[in-house]
Amino acid sequence: MKSFDYVRPATVAEAVAAAAQPGAVYLAAGTNLLDLMKGGVSRPDRLVDVTHLDGLDAIETLADGSLRIGALVSNADLAHDANFAKSYPAVAEALLSGASAQLRNAATVGGNLLQRTRCAYFYDTASRCNKREAGTGCDARDGENRSHAVLGWSENCIATHPSDFCVPLVALDAVVEIEGRSGRREIALDELHRLPGNTPERDSALDPGDLIVAVRLPPAARVFSTHARYLKVRERTSYAFAVVSAAAALRIENGKVAEARVALGGVAAKPWRARPAEDVLRGVAPTADAFQEAAWRALADAKPSGDNAFKIELARRIVVRALLLAAAGTPARLPALPASPFASTSGAIHA
Protein backbone atom coordinates (compact mmCIF):
# COMPACT_ATOMS: atom_id res chain seq x y z
CA MET A 1 0.00 0.00 0.00
CA LYS A 2 1.33 3.41 -0.94
CA SER A 3 1.96 5.67 2.04
CA PHE A 4 -0.45 8.52 2.71
CA ASP A 5 -1.11 11.38 5.09
CA TYR A 6 -3.86 10.89 7.59
CA VAL A 7 -6.12 13.79 8.52
CA ARG A 8 -8.92 13.71 11.07
CA PRO A 9 -10.99 16.88 10.65
CA ALA A 10 -13.12 18.19 13.52
CA THR A 11 -15.91 19.61 11.37
CA VAL A 12 -17.56 19.00 8.02
CA ALA A 13 -16.15 22.30 6.74
CA GLU A 14 -12.62 21.22 7.70
CA ALA A 15 -13.21 17.86 6.03
CA VAL A 16 -14.33 19.45 2.78
CA ALA A 17 -11.31 21.78 2.74
CA ALA A 18 -8.92 18.89 3.45
CA ALA A 19 -10.47 16.59 0.84
CA ALA A 20 -10.59 19.22 -1.90
CA GLN A 21 -6.81 18.96 -2.28
CA PRO A 22 -5.53 16.87 -5.21
CA GLY A 23 -4.89 13.24 -4.23
CA ALA A 24 -7.16 13.36 -1.18
CA VAL A 25 -10.01 10.93 -0.56
CA TYR A 26 -12.47 10.45 2.26
CA LEU A 27 -12.16 7.49 4.59
CA ALA A 28 -15.31 6.14 6.21
CA ALA A 29 -15.28 2.47 7.22
CA GLY A 30 -12.77 1.73 4.47
CA THR A 31 -14.24 -1.67 3.61
CA ASN A 32 -13.90 -0.93 -0.10
CA LEU A 33 -11.19 1.73 -0.04
CA LEU A 34 -8.63 -0.25 2.00
CA ASP A 35 -9.15 -3.26 -0.23
CA LEU A 36 -8.49 -1.07 -3.27
CA MET A 37 -5.45 0.51 -1.63
CA LYS A 38 -4.00 -2.88 -0.69
CA GLY A 39 -4.27 -3.89 -4.34
CA GLY A 40 -2.71 -0.67 -5.58
CA VAL A 41 -5.93 0.18 -7.42
CA SER A 42 -6.45 3.33 -5.36
CA ARG A 43 -3.32 5.27 -4.48
CA PRO A 44 -4.42 8.32 -2.50
CA ASP A 45 -1.91 10.79 -1.04
CA ARG A 46 -4.18 11.78 1.81
CA LEU A 47 -6.99 10.11 3.73
CA VAL A 48 -9.54 12.42 5.31
CA ASP A 49 -11.16 10.37 8.08
CA VAL A 50 -14.79 11.41 8.49
CA THR A 51 -15.76 8.67 10.94
CA HIS A 52 -15.32 10.92 13.98
CA LEU A 53 -17.49 13.77 12.67
CA ASP A 54 -20.57 14.49 14.77
CA GLY A 55 -24.11 14.46 13.50
CA LEU A 56 -23.74 12.13 10.53
CA ASP A 57 -25.03 8.93 12.14
CA ALA A 58 -28.71 9.63 12.80
CA ILE A 59 -31.83 8.15 11.23
CA GLU A 60 -34.52 10.81 11.56
CA THR A 61 -38.04 11.40 10.30
CA LEU A 62 -38.46 14.98 9.14
CA ALA A 63 -41.56 17.13 9.63
CA ASP A 64 -42.77 16.54 6.06
CA GLY A 65 -42.54 12.74 6.45
CA SER A 66 -39.20 12.34 4.69
CA LEU A 67 -36.64 10.01 6.19
CA ARG A 68 -33.11 11.34 6.53
CA ILE A 69 -30.32 8.80 6.90
CA GLY A 70 -26.94 10.12 8.02
CA ALA A 71 -24.05 9.12 5.78
CA LEU A 72 -22.23 7.35 8.62
CA VAL A 73 -25.12 5.08 9.63
CA SER A 74 -23.88 1.54 9.15
CA ASN A 75 -25.56 -0.74 6.64
CA ALA A 76 -26.47 -3.14 9.47
CA ASP A 77 -27.88 -0.50 11.81
CA LEU A 78 -30.09 0.83 9.03
CA ALA A 79 -31.33 -2.58 7.90
CA HIS A 80 -32.07 -3.65 11.48
CA ASP A 81 -33.86 -0.46 12.45
CA ALA A 82 -37.36 -1.85 12.94
CA ASN A 83 -39.19 1.28 11.78
CA PHE A 84 -36.98 1.59 8.74
CA ALA A 85 -37.43 -2.03 7.73
CA LYS A 86 -41.20 -1.75 8.11
CA SER A 87 -41.48 1.43 6.06
CA TYR A 88 -38.90 0.59 3.37
CA PRO A 89 -38.74 -3.22 3.32
CA ALA A 90 -37.12 -3.53 -0.10
CA VAL A 91 -34.26 -1.30 1.03
CA ALA A 92 -33.71 -3.37 4.18
CA GLU A 93 -33.81 -6.56 2.13
CA ALA A 94 -31.29 -5.16 -0.34
CA LEU A 95 -28.95 -4.12 2.47
CA LEU A 96 -29.11 -7.55 4.10
CA SER A 97 -28.45 -9.29 0.79
CA GLY A 98 -25.18 -7.41 0.39
CA ALA A 99 -21.71 -8.42 1.60
CA SER A 100 -21.37 -10.25 4.94
CA ALA A 101 -22.55 -9.42 8.45
CA GLN A 102 -19.06 -8.20 9.37
CA LEU A 103 -18.90 -5.86 6.39
CA ARG A 104 -22.44 -4.58 6.94
CA ASN A 105 -21.54 -3.73 10.54
CA ALA A 106 -18.72 -1.51 9.32
CA ALA A 107 -19.82 -0.23 5.91
CA THR A 108 -21.62 3.10 5.85
CA VAL A 109 -24.51 4.53 3.86
CA GLY A 110 -22.30 7.09 2.13
CA GLY A 111 -19.60 4.53 1.42
CA ASN A 112 -22.08 2.10 -0.05
CA LEU A 113 -23.15 4.72 -2.60
CA LEU A 114 -19.55 5.46 -3.55
CA GLN A 115 -18.17 1.93 -3.72
CA ARG A 116 -16.23 1.23 -6.89
CA THR A 117 -17.00 -1.36 -9.53
CA ARG A 118 -16.02 -4.99 -8.97
CA CYS A 119 -14.85 -5.43 -12.58
CA ALA A 120 -11.85 -7.80 -12.32
CA TYR A 121 -9.89 -5.73 -14.84
CA PHE A 122 -10.38 -2.61 -12.74
CA TYR A 123 -8.93 -4.57 -9.79
CA ASP A 124 -6.04 -6.07 -11.75
CA THR A 125 -3.41 -3.36 -12.11
CA ALA A 126 -1.69 -5.38 -14.86
CA SER A 127 -4.78 -4.98 -17.05
CA ARG A 128 -5.81 -1.99 -19.10
CA CYS A 129 -8.72 -0.13 -17.55
CA ASN A 130 -10.11 3.26 -18.55
CA LYS A 131 -11.82 3.65 -15.21
CA ARG A 132 -8.66 3.08 -13.17
CA GLU A 133 -6.39 4.94 -15.57
CA ALA A 134 -8.03 7.17 -18.14
CA GLY A 135 -7.21 6.47 -21.76
CA THR A 136 -5.41 3.15 -21.30
CA GLY A 137 -8.09 0.96 -22.86
CA CYS A 138 -10.52 -1.67 -21.62
CA ASP A 139 -9.40 -5.28 -21.29
CA ALA A 140 -12.88 -6.29 -20.16
CA ARG A 141 -14.29 -5.53 -23.60
CA ASP A 142 -12.62 -8.63 -25.07
CA GLY A 143 -12.05 -10.44 -21.81
CA GLU A 144 -14.05 -12.43 -19.29
CA ASN A 145 -17.12 -10.26 -19.35
CA ARG A 146 -20.14 -12.40 -18.57
CA SER A 147 -20.89 -10.31 -15.48
CA HIS A 148 -20.60 -6.95 -17.21
CA ALA A 149 -23.09 -4.28 -18.23
CA VAL A 150 -25.96 -4.70 -20.65
CA LEU A 151 -27.35 -1.18 -20.30
CA GLY A 152 -25.73 2.23 -20.62
CA TRP A 153 -22.24 0.94 -21.36
CA SER A 154 -19.77 2.41 -23.84
CA GLU A 155 -16.82 1.07 -25.79
CA ASN A 156 -14.63 2.64 -23.11
CA CYS A 157 -16.11 0.82 -20.14
CA ILE A 158 -18.55 -2.02 -19.52
CA ALA A 159 -18.26 -2.12 -15.72
CA THR A 160 -21.28 -2.31 -13.42
CA HIS A 161 -22.03 -0.59 -10.13
CA PRO A 162 -22.12 -3.29 -7.43
CA SER A 163 -24.43 -1.76 -4.82
CA ASP A 164 -27.62 -3.55 -3.76
CA PHE A 165 -28.71 -0.71 -1.45
CA CYS A 166 -28.79 1.82 -4.31
CA VAL A 167 -31.25 -0.21 -6.39
CA PRO A 168 -34.40 0.19 -4.23
CA LEU A 169 -33.16 3.64 -3.20
CA VAL A 170 -33.16 4.88 -6.78
CA ALA A 171 -36.59 3.29 -7.31
CA LEU A 172 -37.88 5.29 -4.33
CA ASP A 173 -36.52 8.64 -5.59
CA ALA A 174 -33.82 8.94 -2.93
CA VAL A 175 -32.04 12.27 -2.70
CA VAL A 176 -28.38 12.72 -1.79
CA GLU A 177 -27.35 15.63 0.44
CA ILE A 178 -23.85 16.88 -0.35
CA GLU A 179 -21.60 19.32 1.45
CA GLY A 180 -19.08 20.90 -0.90
CA ARG A 181 -16.76 23.83 -1.34
CA SER A 182 -19.69 26.09 -2.20
CA GLY A 183 -21.96 24.86 0.55
CA ARG A 184 -24.83 22.40 0.79
CA ARG A 185 -26.64 21.04 -2.25
CA GLU A 186 -28.69 18.00 -3.08
CA ILE A 187 -29.15 15.83 -6.15
CA ALA A 188 -31.34 12.86 -7.01
CA LEU A 189 -29.55 9.57 -6.43
CA ASP A 190 -30.38 8.81 -10.07
CA GLU A 191 -28.00 11.65 -11.00
CA LEU A 192 -25.19 10.71 -8.61
CA HIS A 193 -23.69 7.86 -10.62
CA ARG A 194 -22.53 8.55 -14.17
CA LEU A 195 -22.68 6.35 -17.20
CA PRO A 196 -19.19 5.81 -18.65
CA GLY A 197 -19.40 7.53 -22.04
CA ASN A 198 -15.92 8.82 -22.85
CA THR A 199 -14.98 9.49 -19.21
CA PRO A 200 -15.40 6.24 -17.28
CA GLU A 201 -12.76 7.40 -14.79
CA ARG A 202 -15.46 9.62 -13.30
CA ASP A 203 -17.89 7.41 -11.37
CA SER A 204 -20.08 10.16 -10.01
CA ALA A 205 -21.26 13.73 -10.27
CA LEU A 206 -19.26 14.66 -7.16
CA ASP A 207 -16.57 17.33 -7.34
CA PRO A 208 -13.32 17.33 -5.35
CA GLY A 209 -14.11 17.85 -1.66
CA ASP A 210 -17.77 16.91 -2.00
CA LEU A 211 -18.93 14.94 1.02
CA ILE A 212 -22.17 12.98 1.09
CA VAL A 213 -23.70 13.85 4.46
CA ALA A 214 -27.10 12.16 4.17
CA VAL A 215 -29.51 10.24 1.96
CA ARG A 216 -33.14 11.23 2.08
CA LEU A 217 -36.24 9.28 1.14
CA PRO A 218 -39.20 11.48 0.23
CA PRO A 219 -42.59 11.08 1.97
CA ALA A 220 -44.01 9.24 -1.08
CA ALA A 221 -41.48 6.42 -0.61
CA ARG A 222 -43.51 5.09 2.33
CA VAL A 223 -46.62 4.30 0.31
CA PHE A 224 -45.03 1.14 -1.11
CA SER A 225 -44.30 -0.51 2.23
CA THR A 226 -46.88 -3.28 1.88
CA HIS A 227 -45.82 -4.27 -1.66
CA ALA A 228 -42.05 -3.99 -2.03
CA ARG A 229 -39.32 -6.55 -2.68
CA TYR A 230 -35.72 -6.85 -3.74
CA LEU A 231 -34.51 -9.92 -5.61
CA LYS A 232 -30.93 -10.77 -6.48
CA VAL A 233 -29.35 -13.56 -8.49
CA ARG A 234 -25.88 -14.45 -7.26
CA GLU A 235 -23.37 -17.10 -8.24
CA ARG A 236 -23.57 -18.41 -4.69
CA THR A 237 -26.47 -18.08 -2.29
CA SER A 238 -24.91 -15.62 0.12
CA TYR A 239 -22.04 -13.14 0.31
CA ALA A 240 -21.77 -12.42 -3.40
CA PHE A 241 -22.42 -9.49 -5.68
CA ALA A 242 -25.46 -9.48 -7.93
CA VAL A 243 -25.30 -10.97 -11.39
CA VAL A 244 -28.64 -9.24 -11.83
CA SER A 245 -31.00 -7.77 -9.25
CA ALA A 246 -34.29 -5.92 -9.21
CA ALA A 247 -36.28 -3.80 -6.81
CA ALA A 248 -40.04 -3.70 -7.31
CA ALA A 249 -42.51 -1.57 -5.40
CA LEU A 250 -46.23 -1.26 -6.05
CA ARG A 251 -49.07 0.88 -4.78
CA ILE A 252 -52.21 -1.16 -5.42
CA GLU A 253 -55.66 0.43 -5.20
CA ASN A 254 -58.95 -1.28 -6.04
CA GLY A 255 -57.16 -4.18 -7.65
CA LYS A 256 -55.14 -1.98 -10.00
CA VAL A 257 -51.56 -0.73 -9.92
CA ALA A 258 -51.86 2.93 -8.99
CA GLU A 259 -48.12 3.40 -9.09
CA ALA A 260 -45.12 1.14 -9.75
CA ARG A 261 -41.40 1.53 -9.16
CA VAL A 262 -38.83 -0.72 -10.81
CA ALA A 263 -35.04 -0.57 -10.76
CA LEU A 264 -32.30 -2.99 -11.78
CA GLY A 265 -28.88 -3.73 -10.29
CA GLY A 266 -25.82 -5.40 -11.77
CA VAL A 267 -26.70 -4.29 -15.29
CA ALA A 268 -25.11 -0.85 -15.66
CA ALA A 269 -22.58 1.58 -14.21
CA LYS A 270 -25.41 2.97 -12.11
CA PRO A 271 -28.49 1.65 -10.35
CA TRP A 272 -30.88 1.47 -13.30
CA ARG A 273 -34.30 3.02 -12.86
CA ALA A 274 -36.70 1.40 -15.34
CA ARG A 275 -39.30 4.14 -15.90
CA PRO A 276 -40.73 2.61 -19.10
CA ALA A 277 -41.66 -0.45 -17.01
CA GLU A 278 -43.30 1.74 -14.40
CA ASP A 279 -45.30 3.66 -17.00
CA VAL A 280 -46.80 0.57 -18.58
CA LEU A 281 -48.02 -0.71 -15.22
CA ARG A 282 -49.94 2.39 -14.20
CA GLY A 283 -53.65 1.64 -14.02
CA VAL A 284 -53.49 -2.03 -14.98
CA ALA A 285 -54.21 -5.14 -12.95
CA PRO A 286 -51.12 -6.64 -11.28
CA THR A 287 -50.96 -9.77 -13.43
CA ALA A 288 -48.09 -11.89 -14.70
CA ASP A 289 -48.88 -10.73 -18.25
CA ALA A 290 -48.62 -7.08 -17.27
CA PHE A 291 -45.37 -7.75 -15.46
CA GLN A 292 -43.98 -9.54 -18.53
CA GLU A 293 -44.74 -6.47 -20.61
CA ALA A 294 -43.11 -4.25 -17.98
CA ALA A 295 -39.99 -6.45 -17.93
CA TRP A 296 -39.78 -6.33 -21.70
CA ARG A 297 -39.86 -2.53 -21.62
CA ALA A 298 -37.31 -2.36 -18.79
CA LEU A 299 -34.78 -4.16 -20.97
CA ALA A 300 -35.83 -2.74 -24.34
CA ASP A 301 -32.54 -0.89 -24.80
CA ALA A 302 -30.33 -3.65 -23.41
CA LYS A 303 -27.54 -5.11 -25.49
CA PRO A 304 -24.74 -7.50 -24.61
CA SER A 305 -21.28 -6.02 -24.02
CA GLY A 306 -19.67 -9.42 -24.42
CA ASP A 307 -20.46 -12.91 -23.29
CA ASN A 308 -23.41 -11.68 -21.26
CA ALA A 309 -26.55 -11.80 -23.43
CA PHE A 310 -27.96 -14.19 -20.82
CA LYS A 311 -28.17 -11.31 -18.37
CA ILE A 312 -30.84 -9.60 -20.46
CA GLU A 313 -33.24 -12.53 -20.28
CA LEU A 314 -32.26 -13.14 -16.65
CA ALA A 315 -33.01 -9.50 -15.83
CA ARG A 316 -36.44 -9.75 -17.50
CA ARG A 317 -37.28 -12.80 -15.43
CA ILE A 318 -36.05 -11.23 -12.21
CA VAL A 319 -38.17 -8.13 -12.87
CA VAL A 320 -41.25 -10.30 -13.39
CA ARG A 321 -40.50 -12.34 -10.28
CA ALA A 322 -39.81 -9.27 -8.15
CA LEU A 323 -43.07 -7.68 -9.31
CA LEU A 324 -45.03 -10.89 -8.60
CA LEU A 325 -43.55 -11.08 -5.12
CA ALA A 326 -44.24 -7.40 -4.51
CA ALA A 327 -47.85 -7.85 -5.65
CA ALA A 328 -48.22 -10.81 -3.28
CA GLY A 329 -47.27 -8.50 -0.43
CA THR A 330 -44.26 -7.74 1.70
CA PRO A 331 -43.62 -10.69 4.03
CA ALA A 332 -44.08 -10.05 7.75
CA ARG A 333 -40.48 -11.04 8.32
CA LEU A 334 -37.61 -10.97 5.87
CA PRO A 335 -36.81 -14.41 4.46
CA ALA A 336 -33.89 -16.35 5.94
CA LEU A 337 -31.96 -15.65 2.76
CA PRO A 338 -32.70 -12.01 1.95
CA ALA A 339 -33.42 -11.32 -1.73
CA SER A 340 -32.75 -14.90 -2.76
CA PRO A 341 -34.98 -16.22 -5.55
CA PHE A 342 -34.31 -19.70 -4.18
CA ALA A 343 -35.83 -19.21 -0.76
CA SER A 344 -39.44 -18.20 -0.39
CA THR A 345 -39.80 -19.41 3.16
CA SER A 346 -37.66 -19.86 6.21
CA GLY A 347 -36.23 -23.34 6.43
CA ALA A 348 -35.32 -23.57 2.76
CA ILE A 349 -32.05 -25.24 2.02
CA HIS A 350 -29.16 -23.27 0.59
CA ALA A 351 -29.37 -23.53 -3.17
Partner 1 sequence: MNHSISLTVNGARRDFVLDDPRVTLLDLLRERLHLTGTKKGCDRGQCGACTILVDGKRINSCLALAISHDGADILTIEGVARGDQLHPVQAAFIAHDGFQCGFCTPGQIMSAIGMMREAQAGNDPERIRECMSGNLCRCGAYAGIVDAVLEAQAGMDESNQRRSA
Binding site for partner 1 (CB under 8 A): 1, 3-6, 27, 29-31, 34-35, 38-39, 47, 49, 51-52, 76, 80, 99-103, 105-106, 237-239, 336-338, 343, 346-350
| Distance from chain centroid for Cα 36 | 18
- State the nearest-atom distance from the C-beta of 176 to partner 1, in Å: 23
Nearer to partner 1, 85 or 325 (CB): 85
Q: Mutual orientation of helices 310-328 and 288-298 as an angle, nearest 10°?
A: 140
Nearer to partner 1, 12 or 309 (CB): 12
| Distance from chain centroid for Cα 341 | 19
- State the nearest-atom distance from the C-beta of 228 to partner 1, in Å: 20
- State the nearest-atom distance from the C-beta of 75 to partner 1, in Å: 12
205: which strand partners? none
- State the nearest-atom distance from the C-beta of 126 to partner 1, in Å: 17
- State the nearest-atom distance from the C-beta of 81 to partner 1, in Å: 13
Nearer to partner 1, 30 or 271 (CB): 30
- State the nearest-atom distance from the C-beta of 24 to partner 1, in Å: 14
Which own/partner pairs from 271-279 qualify as long-range (CB within 8 Å, at least 24 positions apart)? 271/161, 271/163, 271/166, 271/167, 271/169, 271/170, 271/189, 271/190, 271/193, 272/151, 272/152, 272/167, 272/170, 273/170, 273/171, 273/190, 274/298, 274/319, 276/300, 277/319
Other C-beta atoms lying within 10 Å of the C-beta of residue 153: 27
CA angle 73, 345, 297 (to 5 degrees): 75
Nearer to partner 1, 39 or 65 (CB): 39
Nearer to partner 1, 120 or 343 (CB): 343
- What is the C-alpha to C-alpha distance for residues 266 and 179, in angstroms, rounded to an integer? 28
Residue 61, Cβ density class (10 Å: 0-12 exposed, 13-18 middle, ≥19 buried): middle
Nearer to partner 1, 111 or 168 (CB): 111
C-beta of residue 136 within 8 angstroms of C-beta of residue 129? yes
Name the residue type at position 92: A
Other C-beta atoms lying within 10 Å of the C-beta of residue 280: 20
- State the nearest-atom distance from the C-beta of 59 to partner 1, in Å: 17
C-beta of residue 267 within 8 angstroms of C-beta of residue 161? no
C-beta of residue 116 within 8 angstroms of C-beta of residue 142? no
Nearer to partner 1, 7 or 221 (CB): 7
Nearer to partner 1, 51 or 61 (CB): 51
- State the nearest-atom distance from the C-beta of 19 to partner 1, in Å: 15
- State the nearest-atom distance from the C-beta of 90 to partner 1, in Å: 18
- What is the C-alpha to C-alpha distance for residues 5 and 121, in angstroms, rounded to an integer? 28
Nearer to partner 1, 199 or 237 (CB): 237
CA of 294: how far to CAs of 60, 173, 263, 267, 349, in Å? 34, 19, 11, 17, 31
